Amino acid sequence: MGEAKRRKTALGEKYGQEARILPWVPITKSQSEKFVQWTTKGAWIGIILTVIAWITIRFIGPAFGWWQVV
């Protein structure tokens, strides 16, 4: 308990708050981790949609006679 009390008095108002990436950037470490997770998911969704579009344009469309690939 003594260490926690010393830490609380040393940090003052900053006690219990998350650490920032850099002191002048108002983004916490957990916010940056969430951003990386969201962008990774978005990238995979984009890759999957691109593959689906390519398969549709290259194979499905010509198979049903919707268009011809030149």
The confidence score (pLDDT) of residue 48 equals 98
Please compute, for residue 60, the number of CA atoms within 13 A of its CA located in the half-sphere on the CB side: 7
Which residues of the chain are modeled with pLDDT < 70?
A: 1, 16
- Strand ranges in the chain using DSSP code E only, listed in sequence order: none
Taking a C-beta distance cutoff of 8 angstroms, is the pair 19, 28 a contact? yes
The confidence score (pLDDT) of residue 33 equals 92
The confidence score (pLDDT) of residue 45 equals 98
The confidence score (pLDDT) of residue 16 equals 66
Taking phi over 0 as left and psi of -120 to 50 as alpha, with beta for the rest, 53 belongs to alpha
Angle 35-45-20 (CA atoms, 0-180°, nearest 5)?
Answer: 5
- Tell me the whole-structure pTM to 2 decimals: 0.66
